[in-house]
Amino acid sequence: MPTPVSVARQCLTEEAASALDDAVSVARRRSHAQTNSLHAVSALLSLPSSPLREACGRAWSVAYSPRLQFKALELSVGVSLDRLPCVKNVEEPPISNSLMAAIKRSQANQKRSPESFHLQQIHSSQQATSLTIKVELKHFLLSILDDPIVSRVFGEAGFRSYDIKLAIVQPAVPPASRLFRSSCPPPIFLCNLMDGGSHFPGSGEDSNENFRRIGEVLGRKSGKNPIIIGMCSKSALESFLDGVESGKQGVLSAGLDRLSTISIENDIGEGVKMSEKFNELSHELRHSSNSGVIVSLGPLTSLIHEDGDAPQQEAARYVVSELTALLKAHKERLWVIGAAESYETFQKFLSQFPDAEKDWDLHLLPITYRSSSSSAQIFSTSKSSLMGSFVPFGGFFSMPTEYATPSSSPFSGSQCDLCNKKCAEEVAALMQDGSSTSVSDRCSTNLPSWLQMSESDSHKPMDVSKKDDRTTLNAKILELQNKWNKVCHSLHNHQPVFNLAIQQARPEVVATDSFNVAADPRKWCSDGSPISGNKCPQVAASIATDLHRISHQEKDRGAHMASQAEQAHMQNISETNQITRIGGLLPSQKLPTYNLLPTHQALPPSITNVGTNLGLGLTTVQSESVPEKTWDGVPVKWRVHGHQGCTQQPLGSPSSSASVLGARLKPPLGDAQQSSPSGYNNFEMYPDPQDFKAIWGSLKGNVGWQDEALCIISQVVSCYKSGSLRRLRFGKDLWMTFLGPDVAGKRRTALALAEIFHDTKRLIYADLSSQKGIRPTCTTCEFHELQACEMLRGKTVVDYIADELRQKPNSVVYLENIDRADPLIQNCLSQALKTGKLKDTYGREFSTRNTIFVATSTVSMDGEVFPSNTESDYSEERVLKSRRWQMQISVESVAAEGRSSKGMAVVVTSQKSSATKRKHSDMDNSSELDRGTGTQRRSDKLSLDLNLPVTDVEEELDDVNTETETSIEDSDSWFKDFLGQVDRNVVFKPYDFKGAAQTFLEEMRITLQSAVGFEVPLEIDDEVMMQIVAAGWQCKEQEAIKWWIRQVMRRGFLEAHQRYKLTADSAVKLASCKGIALEQQAPGVCLPASINLK
Amino acid sequence: MGNTILEALNVRVVGTSQRPFLVLAHGFGTDQSAWQRILPFFTPHYQVVLYDLVCAGSVNPDYFDFGRYTTLDAYVDDLLTILDALRIDRCAYVGHSVSAMIGILAAIRRPDLFSKLILIGASPRFLNDKDYHGGFEQGEIEKVFTAMEANYEAWVNGFAPLAVGADVPAAVREFSRTLFNMRPDISLFVSRTVFHSDLRGLLGLVRVPCCIIQTAKDVSVPASVAAYLKSHLGGRTTVEILNIEGHLPHLSAPALLARVLQRALLSR
């Protein structure tokens, strides 16, 4: 049972009661049946100087800009208010139970709180009859914040209500605006510069910072003689002396005024004049009534002499010694000042007069700013245009009126012209004092209804108070300016803040997380929502929001044509209103968008813009509603695919250009509706994910050699799909690590996984070891499917992953070299593991639901690096590094004695040119190859190109290694931690390169024999062999390579045989043409489609 | 005064306690959020002090006293006040653009306070002079100022991509945001101050070891300036050239910069 307002008022102090009245009026305006805490919050926030607002200001979190957060708060309050049911004409909406409970709570709190104890006693003694305690505003606020609705609203805006409570409880620190006031005059703003033009900073020399600092030094007890250092020191010194001479106020502090200056710089070197000067000086010091004398040395360069310049040296010595004597005699009344262009000059001076620094009690004063007249002139010339552009009411304030001196202007030039004009008009009207209705009232008829509403708060106090003394008028003007500033901000000119907000909001629309999606419109509603007012159903309101939001975005596109966009925007808003109103009047249905469609078609062509927005709105609305429907009650396995289908369409559409969208308004609608069935179809096309065998088979088909690992993976994945995975963590995502060697095998497995779940495009790849995430290109082991993520500079890997995840939800995220991840990624991944949300560097969160994370590392769980097959020729590193070059066949005749055994028909020759590899090749010599081929190979080496970039590549890699070493220590512990947290660690075993190589060699031997007809020795270059092995490694099966040997190589051999008529004495050589990229690739394998013949 | 300034300039100290202090000072047109993506690299090893320059958009414009902030020394006062208020007796300092200048001046005044200066995109003077190439002619600057006056937003939209220098939309967006947050008159005033400042004569007074980080192509700072700084700074000075473009490496290539910073901080 609601409580009447008057009863509630009795429990409150005057201040709190007035806040309650405001709340009631908010409720009345919105035609709500009851006044609840939200109304109170809304009312409290709308006051410009409310304690709640102030507390929020102190509690804002650093992650967001305060302005943005306030905006968000206002929006979320507005939206929540819109949700409340409306009734017709309640004169004074009674206080709801929840708000009344809050008041009661605050009463109880206040009773308990010690600070008010005595107060309460006074109360009770005064009015013994009524036991009610008058609740103070502070306690009222605190208990309102306890209300769950309120704390939710604050939470949505990124505030934590306990922060705010803390801010309310803690006494506010003295306003920081006092910060510089104590020592300095109040801040000067452009608007109050008009009275005294000389006050313009920089132009008026009396406000010069340089003077202040020089004066400060002069006023000190020790080190009081400044040497000004800096490029502009000379001019600074001159203008300072001028200032002292002309006795300007503020140049010197009190007690130091009435100083006289003597400049000796021009007289140095002229003996007679010099001594006259010193006589004059000592006379003055003794007899003058002045408080002191400043001796200016001018630039120190005049005292510095070159070696051998005896007369000058003498003169300088004289000056220095005289000055030293005088300074000793008149310590209190004599100052020396000099200027040095740079520190080097000063050092030179010191080297010649080493005692000067101590005797003269010098102090170095760096001066950085040119206080010359040139800058003053710059300022003064620019003034007029400054006034025009920055001070919105330049014209107004320059009017010769006694009122035109407000203390400060609260705005920047960020207000738009329209609002400026309106505001100026209004202020002018106020000045005339004739009309009681403000301009905004009149012009508000032209404005959208919701704008009128938001204004009405600020109007009231103004119309009521009609006192005409100057201070209130100024206050009014300020208030007006504030109001218009606010209006302007809410209407037009908050792009920079807003743009960002849009970008933050957009991903949420397409994000899979249904909560986010649902929350999204709520956040952005309030701009548009009040339009809906009483009649509009909630759904329409959310569409309105979308429209509005996107219309902002539309504006963003045209931001370069600012003024034009401004107008268009105004138009947009009013027309958007029209549409939503029409939409709002229609009964709410399952798909209100249908109702809107004809409306749009009926609109004149001039507002296609709005229509476009409508289209965008449709797709977003669809994406919100459909997934939610399919989500509930559908088994897990369906969800993945159904959802995927749903999101696809809206995904594409917002990014397409506006015109295209305008043209195909309807298709998105249809697509979105049909999306769930298409999801089912998708599902049929792939092996049943629940079936372990199917998964295993599919993986095995891709990576034939990793039986054990694949078995584990298949188990984990099938368990994950069926939901029976025993988890260490909470979350609907799957985390695995692939440890050990076999990079290609791991990649293949990841690809296969992506294929099982969706398609190979749903693989997000990032190599965490390289800074830029770009892998060296052109290697044989390049995977086309792993589209080299050309990460943009400035995009961290985290952002890249988050972005990809946003575009392709439910993907397989494949992260290589997890052990080398930088702290940024480490944090991000740990958090994603724990919370199921991936947070990018902007603080946006993306759900990792239904995402499979696969992280790989060559480091084992014990922190050991897996031993790569060093004893073999074919280590994984070498194979990985092999490049895709064209191959060529050459034929040589071999002397009979050179050929040894017939058994070694096919040999691999190594061709390592770099010194680093020499040892390795020597080892090859002794171990594998007989002497005969050894000599041949040496002759072969003559044709080598020594400029090959083999070593370069290695050095680059080494660089990377050393760089990452520093961070390795920290990441070690993190890595172990990470391994402990993931769902499963799978260890891969090394790939049998040697075995594969032998198979291929045998195949080649047979091929050559069959092509030529008899046994011919075949020498294969090491590089080529690497290339072939690498190709075999990344192929699904070795058959493809064998096929390539039988086809491509055979063709090459045949050609060679035709041209050179091979005999038993000839040897066929297969070498790679280094530097020449593949001309054409053979189908299915990363090997050349044809082999050149030399 | 101390606490008030901490609040007014949004001073934050994040990171691991008992670790050395590291001050990250942002440059013109940004605020402390510019370090956001650098920060995670340093929080485990340092107590990182972040603050906003008084001209930043995130600071209440009322604090910007046009009479006071006519020279960089007022900014130096702010910095030193902050460090004193936090009772920091020694710290490493990373300053970008104008903050690099501020750092130089602060290190001259209080050499014991700073263990190391890392200057990103620093320039002792932006205007050309005889025998000195600062990158800007007086006339050009006047044109820029006029453009700023005429239409701040348009200027921001044009300047931001230029300053970021590379095709990194996110960085451009971020820089435009913070740049636009500044009140135009303050922005103009500060850029005048910066452009008319001249630190060349003072560089010799710096005794603190410095590391100059410079990108390969920077619209605001020509490469010769880094060499000039190296030869004129009084302390031991190293130069790191980042092989990227733009004046704002902490926005456009945070990971790269973080590594270089780490290295610079560790080296002696």
Residue pair A429/A438 in contact (Cβ under 8 Å)? The answer is yes
With an 8 Å Cβ cutoff, is B2 touching chain A? no
The amino acid sitting at A162 is: Y
How many CA atoms lie within 13 Å of A645's alpha carbon, on the beta-carbon side?
A: 21
Q: Is residue A568 predicted with pLDDT exceeding 60?
A: no
Is 0.95 exceeded by the ipTM?
no
Q: Going by C-beta distance under 8 Å and a sequence separation of 6 or more, which residues neighbour residue A754?
A: A760, A761, A762, A763, A811, A812
With an 8 Å Cβ cutoff, is A162 touching chain B? no
Q: Which residues in chain A have Cβ-Cβ distances shorter than 8 Å to B266?
A: 966
Distance from C-alpha of A276 to C-alpha of A291, rounded to nearest angstrom: 22
With an 8 Å Cβ cutoff, is B110 touching chain A? no
Contact at CB, A382 and B149, closer than 8 angstroms? yes
With an 8 Å Cβ cutoff, is A863 touching chain B? no
Output the CA torsion A612→A617→A618→A619 (10° steps).
Answer: 100
Contact at CB, A62 and B10, closer than 8 angstroms? yes
The alpha-carbon radius of gyration of chain A (Å, integer) is 41
Least Cα distance to A396 among A484, A327, A517, A328 occurs for A484
Run of H or E residues at A801: helix A797-807
Distance from C-alpha of A959 to C-alpha of A776, rounded to nearest angstrom: 14
The β-bridge relationship of strands B12-15 and B47-51 is antiparallel
Q: What is residue A572's predicted lDDT score, i.e. its pLDDT?
A: 46
With an 8 Å Cβ cutoff, is A254 touching chain B? no
Which chain B residues in 45-74 lie under 8 Å from chain A, judged by CB atoms? 58, 60-68, 70-74
Closest-CA distance, B90 to chain A, in angstroms, reads 22
pLDDT tens, B114-146?
A: 999 999 999 998 888 888 888 888 888 888 888
Minimum Cα–Cα distance from A413: chain B residue: B184
Going from the C-alpha of A243 to that of each of A240, A246, A251, the distances in angstroms are 5, 5, 7
Q: Is residue B167 predicted with pLDDT exceeding 80?
A: no
Contact at CB, A966 and B200, closer than 8 angstroms? no
Distance from C-alpha of A1088 to C-alpha of A1076, rounded to nearest angstrom: 11
With an 8 Å Cβ cutoff, is A922 touching chain B? no
Region of B166 (left: φ > 0; alpha: ψ -120 to 50; beta: rest) is beta
Least Cα distance to A1081 among A889, A886, A888, A890 occurs for A886
Least Cα distance to A191 among A478, A407, A474 occurs for A407
The interaxial angle of helices A692-702 and A743-757, nearest 10 deg, is: 140
**Largest Cα–Cα separation, chain B:** 50
With an 8 Å Cβ cutoff, is A364 touching chain B? yes
Question: Which of A6-20, A278-292, A545-559, B208-222 tops mean pLDDT?
Answer: B208-222
Least Cα distance to B55 among B83, B74, B38 occurs for B74
Taking the complete model, does pTM exceed 0.95, yes or no?
A: no
Q: Is residue A1027 predicted with pLDDT exceeding 70?
A: yes
Which chain A residues in 189-218 lie under 8 Å from chain B, judged by CB atoms? 189-190, 201-202, 207-210, 213
With an 8 Å Cβ cutoff, is A794 touching chain B? yes
Distance from C-alpha of A157 to C-alpha of A68, rounded to nearest angstrom: 9
Minimum Cα–Cα distance from A773: chain B residue: B255
Contact at CB, A230 and B201, closer than 8 angstroms? yes
Least Cα distance to A601 among A670, A665, A537, A660 occurs for A665
The amino acid sitting at A444 is: S
Q: Is residue A292 predicted with pLDDT exceeding 90?
A: no
pLDDT tens, B26-78?
A: 999 899 999 988 898 898 889 999 999 999 988 888 888 888 888 888 899 99
Confidence class for position B79, pLDDT limits 50, 70, 90: very high
Q: Is residue A49 predicted with pLDDT exceeding 60?
A: yes
Q: What is residue A279's predicted lDDT score, i.e. its pLDDT?
A: 82
Q: Which residue has the tokens 């109103």?
A: A581
Q: What is residue B51's predicted lDDT score, i.e. its pLDDT?
A: 94
Distance from C-alpha of A161 to C-alpha of A154, rounded to nearest angstrom: 6
Confidence class for position A306, pLDDT limits 50, 70, 90: low
Residue in B68, B150, B253 closest to A180 by CB: B68
Q: Which residues in chain B have Cβ-Cβ distances shorter than 8 Å to A357?
A: none
Q: What is residue B135's predicted lDDT score, i.e. its pLDDT?
A: 85
Residue in B4, B198, B253 closest to A794 by CB: B253
> Does A635 or A369 have the greater pLDDT score?
A369
> Does B212 or A686 have the greater pLDDT score?
B212
pLDDT tens, A936-967?
A: 333 333 334 444 444 343 344 444 444 444 44
- Classify residue A1016 as exposed, middle or buried by CB count within 10 Å of its CB (0-12, 13-18, 19+): buried
Least Cα distance to A580 among A565, A563, A592 occurs for A592
For chain B, count helices (H), then strands (E).
11, 7
**What length is written for chain B?**
268
With an 8 Å Cβ cutoff, is B131 touching chain A? no
Distance from C-alpha of A714 to C-alpha of A752, rounded to nearest angstrom: 11
Going from the C-alpha of A117 to that of each of A11, A104, A121, A123, A629, the distances in angstroms are 16, 17, 6, 10, 56
Q: Domains along chain B?
A: 2-266 (3.40.50.1820)
- For residue A1038, the 8-state DSSP code is T
Contact at CB, A368 and B197, closer than 8 angstroms? yes
- Catalytic residue annotation of B: 97, 218, 247
Q: Which residue has the tokens 């010799």?
A: B204
Residue in A230, A233, A496 closest to B177 by CB: A496
Contact at CB, A412 and B184, closer than 8 angstroms? yes
Q: Going by C-beta distance under 8 Å and a sequence separation of 6 or more, which residues neighbour residue B100?
A: B27, B117, B119, B120, B121, B122, B123
What does the mean pLDDT of chain A come to? 62
Going from the C-alpha of A1032 to that of each of A743, A974, A1042, the distances in angstroms are 13, 35, 9
pLDDT tens, A100-129?
A: 888 888 877 777 655 544 444 444 444 443
Query: Bridge partners of A226?
Result: A363
Residue in B67, B157, B170 closest to A559 by CB: B157
Annotate A613-633 with DSSP letters as a single string: HHHHHHHHHHHHHHHHHHHTT
Contact at CB, B176 and A370, closer than 8 angstroms? no
Confidence class for position B267, pLDDT limits 50, 70, 90: confident
Region of A247 (left: φ > 0; alpha: ψ -120 to 50; beta: rest) is left
Cβ neighbour number for residue A1007 with a 10 Å cutoff? 20
